[in-house]
A and B are shown apart, each in its own frame.
Chain A
Amino acid sequence: MGRSTAGGRWGEGGRAVGKPRPPQRRPPPPPPRPLRRRGFRAPSSKEKAAAACPAMTQSVVVQVGQCGNQVGCRFWDLALREHAAVNKALLIDMEEGVVNEILQGPLRDVFDSKQLITDVSGSGNNWAVGHKLYGCQYRENIVEKLRKTAEHCDCLQCFFIIHSMGGGTGSGLGTFVLNLLEDEFPEVYRFVTSVYPSGEDDVITSPYNSVLAMKELNEHADCVLPIENESLFEIVNKIHQMVNSGKLGSTVKQNSMITSSTGSAKTAQEKPFDAMNNIVANLLLNLTSSARFEGSLNMDLNEISMNLVPFPRLHYLVSSLTPLYTLADVNVPSRRLDQMFSDAFSRDHQLIQADPKHNLYLACALLVRGNVQLSDLRRNIERLKPSLHFVSWNQEGWKTGLCSVPPVGHSHSLLALANNTCVKPTFIELKDRFMKLYKKKAHLHHYLHIDGMEQSCFSEAISSLSDLIEEYNELDATKGGPRTDPSRLKIAV
């Protein structure tokens, strides 16, 4: 089976029409075993017993580049803590350092060599090297490994790609893999977690890499969760301050901080980015929680894509996680629960530098985990709605999910995903930084001498980004305007 739930998509439940496959660019590999292969037969009593431990729909994680692998590593670490999941991952890097470290570290038994693709010299912070050079070279290998990994899934719902935008491998090869996934597995969702470079990024060519990658994300991703290091850094600091302030005499539960690794924070030798990467790892855990655990209102990944993406290219979702930590006193008065909801909308909890409250919502998803009732969820939506601006045709654009099992160390938690025009400034800044370099043709030759790269790659990429920004502008223009509902169909009596 490809996707499991109908994902709120009426047509899939009613009439399924397959998406036509795009023409192959190279001779096709031997036809793969079909992914949706299971018919039905009446369950044996043994299976009925086994059904008490329900199978979950599966995702495959593809971690590309240094950033991707470091974040991915944190993800698996925390995922194993939530339950002994059978992991499905493919680790790709064009230099050995990071992957080797993973294989020597505590997760060495979690991955095996069949799940790795590495090379030696890296991509030199060059998108073209990652995308065109290594892409071409490793295509067969990547496809083969993806197929093997996918074959072990009973019900493959989604691919997660984790990468950074600013470098060479994650950005270039990562987006190459994205294209590949669309070609080879057209009906499986593609969720991409992308770490965007900050203004003071030490990689000079990061604007080029990011904009070239953006075009791929625009065209081939189902959903993108942009992340900015600055935001992660600020959250880490905030938690640090809270832990060290001894405020109110309460102590923070060590394992509850969204920045902490498994085990005590003191014993593990934490590397500088670990705390920040743990935040992203927790994002992914919460995103998949409804597929992994029971709840009274399930929200699977395909439902997220369906409900939060009203127009195909506007698929950038700003995420926030609350609470950042729990205090040791266990009884949570409902005021604190309400605070959790308020925090999800505050500027300083977003994982990119953005302020959704003062911009325009196209849609918003709230995935609640733990001991939270339906009435709490509804009460808080009613409470917060008046202070938020939703686009005129989606005034009640809320998608909600309730999962009974909270994350480790918490009694409840909330993941908010906002399709909001507040992403626009991030894209505008990216465009500005790109243009600064491009106008002077700085460093272009490093890219253009790679086979398959031309000037048009750049012009198309910046054009794609400009169009995207323009779409957000048009939506923003409707904000606060007079609302005229379109006239209804008239029926002759």
Chain B
Amino acid sequence: MSIVTIQLGQCGNQIGHEVFNAICGDVHGTHGLCSKKENESYHDACKERFFREEESEVPVARAVLVDMEPKVISQTLSTAASYSVHGPKHKEVIMDLVQREAEKCDRLGGFFTIMSMAGGTGSGLGAFVTQCLRDAFPSSFILNHVIWPYGTGEVIVQNYNSVLTLSHLYQSSDALLVHENDVIHKICAQLMNIKQISFRDVNQVIAHQLGSVFQPTYTAEGGLHYSRNPLGDLMEMLVPHPEFKMLGLRNIPQMPENFLAYSTFSWPGLIKHLRQMLIANAKMEEGIDWQVRPPCLGSSIPSSHSTNKPLHFNTSVANLVILRGKDTHSVDLGSFRDPSLYTSWLNPQDAFNAWKTPRSFNKYEKSAALVSNSQFLLKPLDSVVGKAWNMFASKAYIHQYTKFGIQEEDFLDSFTALEQVISSYSNL
């Protein structure tokens, strides 16, 4: 099954470009440290998932690039065949392109949209396009990859845009996979040792993390074929309830390429770190708070205000761990199945899943990714809503939105929807 990627706005298109670069780089540029047969299966699965062939036999990304000005897209034309540049009135044109890409898939596995929350095109048009996708493809999977802007200043009205976008996406999307610029920036600074960080560096880290999730894997133990329905599988495993759609992503290890040759990793070490990153809500593998421990189960009635729940402990709805590389078959993931990590209303067996492949990813001999539906994003969400509310209370910038048909009631609806999400995640 194939995924159609829709890149929206400057951010979406810049990241999309890096994602396809990363995927291609992984498939063609590395040996995979596995058998030739394995490598070929991986290659084929990847190709089916993300590419189609034109007459020239050159693989073309199954991507639709959307922006309201030509500059960014024209720099990335090499990776995709279809693009559109136009204003909001051309819904038919965008959907027409999407329809054509969808039809070129033997089997449509769903849609993956990439956008930022802060600006205008990615966020506003992105939410609009997602709604259109939902209307046109009511039973397809839609995963929105959303970039949270830096806390300080990219766009002044970013919190309004974020509130409006998130509340609308929540209605039509199946899940939101979130990357925060502040977090990725820290990874670039502290783990990747980059001195002068550019957006390109940030986008490449994001692309690496996305690749580590969406490159082919086996989803069942002893599976013979690479999974053909990654989006469907992801939704099934991670989004058991429509109120809980916010997914965070962590991966380990992350380091500059020239360090890789000097580093060795053990699976127990990697898994231990990844688990603690989950529990302590650490953004990366450095600076993890090892003091945080899961609560003791059975000692008193678990409730949202239970004093048993230690502060800063990150409760999960569901988790997915993806292992790539050497000896993945022997990795012990028992620590992730610990019921105390999860909210009480799901069977722990259902709450945790693992995907694996012996083929290594992007030159990392061993690597693990965690996609988590947990309280990872609770604080950032609360912060964004708080700032937006603060600004809304003084009515600043509202006239800029009412000019285009977004009324105060629309804002209030969005605030209400998100306070509901915050409340739900807080009470896990």
Contacts and interface: CB of A to CB of B under 8 A. Distances in A.
Interface stretch (B77-85, B318-326, B357-365): B77-85
Name the residue in A8, A15, A51, A309 with the highest tally of chain B Cβ atoms < 10 Å from its Cβ.
Answer: A8
A327 to B, nearest CB: 22
A178 B128 CA distance: 34
B93 interface: yes
Nearest to A483: B390
B88 A5 contact: no
B121 A6 contact: yes
B137 interface: no
A16 B389 CA distance: 24
A218 to B, nearest CB: 14
Contact of B123 (A13, A374, A491): A13
Given A48-B77, A311-B396, A488-B419, A397 B197 contact: no
B156 A374 contact: no
Interface stretch (B158-166, B225-233, B280-288): B158-166
Contacts of B420: 491
Name the residue in B68, B120, B404 with the highest tally of chain A Cβ atoms < 10 Å from its Cβ.
Answer: B120
A409 interface: no
A376 interface: yes
Contact of B88 (A6, A56, A57): A6
B198 A374 contact: yes
A374 B197 contact: yes
B69 A310 contact: no
A8 B122 CA distance: 9
B109 interface: no
Contacts of A397: 153, 156
B84 A6 contact: no
Nearest to A36: B87
A357 interface: no
Contacts of B74: 51-52, 54
B415 interface: yes
Interface string B83-115: 111111110010000000000000000000000
Nearest to B155: A8
Interface stretch (A121-129, A244-252, A294-302, A316-324): A294-302
Contacts of A6: 9, 68, 88, 119-121, 124-125
A306 interface: yes
B120 A12 contact: yes
B71 A375 contact: no
A39 interface: yes
B59 interface: no
A9 B164 CA distance: 11
Nearest to B73: A51
B70 A54 contact: yes
Contact of A485 (B90, B118, B200, B390): B390
Name the residue in B71, B121, B124, B126 with the highest tally of chain A Cβ atoms < 10 Å from its Cβ.
Answer: B71
A223 to B, nearest CB: 12
- Majority DSSP secondary structure for residues of A touching B: loop
B152 A12 contact: no
Contact of B401 (A11, A54, A311): A11
A42 B128 CA distance: 22
B416 to A, nearest CB: 6
A59 B49 CA distance: 43
Contacts of B69: 4-5, 57, 155, 298, 300
Contact of B196 (A363, A375, A402): A375
A365 to B, nearest CB: 8
Contact of A40 (B86, B155, B156): B86
Given A7-B120, A17-B405, A308-B156, A1 B86 contact: yes
A394 interface: yes
B241 interface: no
A486 interface: yes
A396 B189 CA distance: 22
B82 A42 contact: yes
26 contacts: A1-B87, A6-B88, A9-B157, A11-B404, A12-B120, A14-B406, A40-B85, A52-B74, A54-B71, A155-B69, A296-B14, A297-B10, A298-B69, A303-B120, A306-B157, A309-B397, A311-B399, A312-B399, A398-B154, A399-B156, A400-B153, A400-B154, A485-B386, A488-B386, A488-B419, A493-B423
Interface of A: 1-17, 19, 36, 38-40, 42-43, 48, 51-52, 54-57, 155, 294, 296-298, 300, 303, 306-312, 362-363, 373-376, 378, 381-382, 385, 392-394, 396-400, 402, 485-486, 488-491, 493
Interface of B: 9-10, 14, 68-75, 77, 82-90, 93, 118-121, 123-128, 150-158, 160-161, 164-165, 168, 185, 189, 195-200, 202, 385-387, 389-391, 393-397, 399-401, 403-406, 415-416, 419-420, 422-423, 427
Given A6-B125, A12-B120, 13 more contacts: A8-B157, A10-B160, A13-B68, A14-B164, A16-B404, A48-B77, A297-B10, A310-B397, A378-B152, A392-B394, A393-B390, A399-B153, A400-B153
